[in-house]
Amino acid sequence: MTGLATAPAAYAQGKEQFFPVLVYRTGAYAPNGIPFADGARDYITLLNERDGGINGVKITFEECETGYATDRGVECYERLKGKGPTGAAYFSPLSTGITFALTEKAPGDKVPLITMGYGRSDSRDGAVFEWNFPLLGTYWTAANVAIQYIGAWLAGQGAVPIFNLMEDAATAEISRSQVWQWIRSPKGKLDDGRKVTKEMVAAMIPEEMQKIRDLLGPAFGEGRYDEAAGIFADLVDNDTFVEFLTLPAYEKID
C-alpha cells in the first residue's frame, strides 16, 4: 500500500492524501468485514500519529459501506474517486463483483485498484490491466486455502496457519465463494480466454491436493484433506449457493 501511495509525484507534493476505505460492516460477511474495517482505520491512524503520515504526507480517509454489494461499491467509487487534493490514492474493492465493475472504470480515471486476488486472473499481467494490482493469491490459491482450512477444521482446529497467516472459517468462506462465482460469472475467464467451468475446477482440485501434500509433508496425515476436497468440490459444483461451508462439514464430524 505504501509503495502505491507514495509513487506518483503529485501525491508526494500534496500536504495530505485521501484513502477511500470501502467496508462491509453490514450484510452476510459482516463478521469478518467489521474487524477488517477496524484494522484499516486503526492502521491509518497509527501511520498518522506515529509517523506523521507517509513521507510527511498526512492521510485522510472516509469509510463507505458497501454491504459487499456491487452496486453500492460502484456508488462509493464514484462518490469518493475525486475526493481530496489529488483524488483517491487507490481503491481496495474487497469483493469480486465490485472488482469486476471497477476494473472497467479505473483506467479512465487512472486510479489504482488493490484487488488482492479478486477479479480476472489475467490481471496478474500488468500489460492487460495496468491499474489492477492483484496482491496475494489467485482463484486457484483460493481453492487451495479452502481445502486446507476445511481439512484442518474437520480434524478439530479452529484457527489454522496457512501460507504463514492464521486463517479462520471466514477466509475459507470467501475462498470457496470466489471459485463458485468465477464458474458462474461470464467474466470468469483464464488468461487465454477460456471460460472457467465446473469441469475445469474438478480437474484442478487433484492438482491442488498434490500441492497441499507436498507443502504439508507428514502433517498431511493429521488433517482430513481428502474429505475436505470432496466438500469443496460439492460446494462449488452446486448451482445453489450453500450459505455456510460448515453446514456440510458438520455432517462429516464423528
pLDDT (tens digit, 9 = 90+) per residue, 209-229? 888 888 888 888 888 888 888
The pLDDT value recorded for residue 9 is 45
Distance of CA 5 to CAs 113, 212, 217, 235, Å?
11, 35, 40, 38
The pLDDT value recorded for residue 148 is 82
Within a domain: residue 1?
no
- Residue 147 sits in the same domain as residue 79: no
Domain boundary, last residue among 106, 133, 160: 133
Residue 148 CA to residue 132 CA, distance in Å, equals: 28
The pLDDT value recorded for residue 139 is 62
The pLDDT value recorded for residue 8 is 47
Residues in a beta bridge with 23: 65
- Residue 113 sits in the same domain as residue 91: yes
Residue 242 CA to residue 107 CA, distance in Å, equals: 35
Q: Look up the pTM and report it.
A: 0.55
Domain boundary, last residue among 98, 133, 168: 133
The pLDDT value recorded for residue 133 is 84
- Residue 97 sits in the same domain as residue 127: yes
The pLDDT value recorded for residue 54 is 92
Distance of CA 203 to CAs 71, 145, 212, Å?
33, 17, 15
Percent of the chain at pLDDT above 90? 33
Residues of the chain with pLDDT under 50: 1-13
Domain boundary, last residue among 110, 133, 156: 133
What's the CATH code of the domain at 160?
1.20.1220.12
The pLDDT value recorded for residue 164 is 54
Instruction: Please give the residue range of the domain that contains residue 230.
Output: 139-250
The pLDDT value recorded for residue 163 is 61
- Residue 117 sits in the same domain as residue 17: yes
Residues contacting 84, CB < 8 A, separation 6+: 14, 16, 17, 18, 60
The pLDDT value recorded for residue 5 is 44
What is the crossing angle of helices 169-184 and 96-109, to 10°? 70
The pLDDT value recorded for residue 10 is 47
Distance of CA 243 to CAs 23, 92, 116, 148, 156, Å?
21, 25, 23, 19, 21
The pLDDT value recorded for residue 89 is 95
Total tally of structural domains belonging to the chain: 2
